[in-house]
């Protein structure tokens, strides 16, 4: 059995500070601090003791960025993130690993399906030998989007809208960044990141702690409906 991450007590202290509304911290800062202690995040409308891989084919139509795993597209995977803003978004709108999660739970935010996701500049890796990025390095690169009816629902529900960020420890180094191998004109090999902000694995993982999220936390991420509004005009 793997030993508990020695930073877990510090994670629990961070969560406790958020719960008692310490003015020096908020949910986004807490999520970033937790990642920097060596953990990954799964945003979810309802906390789960164990997160199980699922087939992810539906994300090509649900998210701003097309998403597949090439030859492994039909293989169940579990998605987690090292970016606190992405974890908050999925805690509010629904777990990326569970299609239409809030609707399945019986409390959809809107009567019709609406999209949410993020955009970022194309990311390139020179090698696969480096560790997973951290929130400090990558969080600011993500531009979060949601269709206007979803944002209006979050404003209307306010603090009554709840979600969770489940914290997981990649103690077996199972998580990896999905990439596509490429070559420059001179033959130099590199990799493009298929889904920036996401790490995946193919095994169930256990939640070791949970950070609570409420509707107003979404505005910490600077989310907007701009990209969807442009497409509608």
Q: Is residue 86 part of a domain?
A: yes
Q: Is residue 3 part of a domain?
A: no
Cβ(98)–Cβ(104) under 8 Å?
yes
User: What is the predicted pLDDT for the residue at 170?
Assistant: 84
Secondary structure element (H or E) that encloses residue 43, with its range:
strand 40-44
User: What is the predicted pLDDT for the residue at 185?
Assistant: 86
Strand partners of residue 114: none
Secondary structure element (H or E) that encloses residue 80, with its range:
strand 78-81
Domain total in the chain: 1
pTM score of the predicted model = 0.89
Q: Is residue 129 part of a domain?
A: yes
User: What is the predicted pLDDT for the residue at 191?
Assistant: 83
The owner of tokens 């649900």 is 62
Residue ranges in the chain modelled with pLDDT below 70 = 1-3, 56-74, 129-140, 229-233
Q: What is the largest CA-CA distance in the chain?
A: 57
Nearest to 212 by CA among 13, 44, 40, 8: 44
Domain with 153, as residue range(s), is 8-232
Secondary structure element (H or E) that encloses residue 81, with its range:
strand 78-81
Q: Is residue 154 part of a domain?
A: yes
Q: How many CB atoms lie within 10 A of CB 75?
A: 12
Q: Is residue 123 part of a domain?
A: yes
Q: What is the DSSP letter of 62?
A: H
Q: Is residue 164 part of a domain?
A: yes
Q: Where are the beta strands (DSSP E) in 104-204?
A: 116-119, 124-125, 143-146, 162-168, 179-183, 189-193, 198-201
Cβ(179)–Cβ(192) under 8 Å?
yes
Q: Is residue 46 part of a domain?
A: yes
């Amino acid at each position: 059995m793997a030993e508990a991450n020695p930073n877990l007590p510090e994670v629990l202290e961070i969560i406790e500070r958020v719960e008692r509304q310490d003015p020096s911290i908020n949910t986004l800062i807490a999520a970033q601090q937790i990642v920097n202690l060596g953990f990954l995040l799964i945003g979810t409308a309802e906390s789960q003791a164990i997160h199980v891989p699922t087939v992810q084919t539906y994300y090509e139509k649900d998210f701003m960025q097309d998403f597949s795993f090439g030859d492994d597209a039909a293989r169940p995977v579990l998605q987690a993130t090292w970016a606190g803003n992405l974890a908050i978004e999925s805690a509010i709108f629904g777990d990326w690993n569970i299609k239409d999660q809030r609707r399945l739970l019986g409390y959809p935010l809107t009567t019709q399906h609406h999209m949410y996701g993020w955009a970022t500049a194309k990311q390139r890796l020179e090698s696969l030998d480096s560790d997973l990025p951290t929130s400090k390095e990558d969080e600011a690169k993500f531009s979060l989007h949601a269709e206007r009816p979803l944002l209006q629902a979050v404003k209307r529900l306010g603090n009554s809208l709840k979600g969770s960020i489940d914290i997981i420890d990649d103690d077996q180094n199972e998580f990896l960044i999905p990439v596509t191998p490429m070559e420059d004109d001179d033959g130099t090999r590199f990799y493009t990141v298929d889904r920036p902000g996401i790490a995946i694995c193919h095994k169930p993982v256990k939640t070791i702690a949970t950070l609570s999220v409420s509707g107003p936390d979404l505005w910490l991420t600077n989310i907007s409906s701009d990209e969807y509004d442009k497409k509608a005009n």
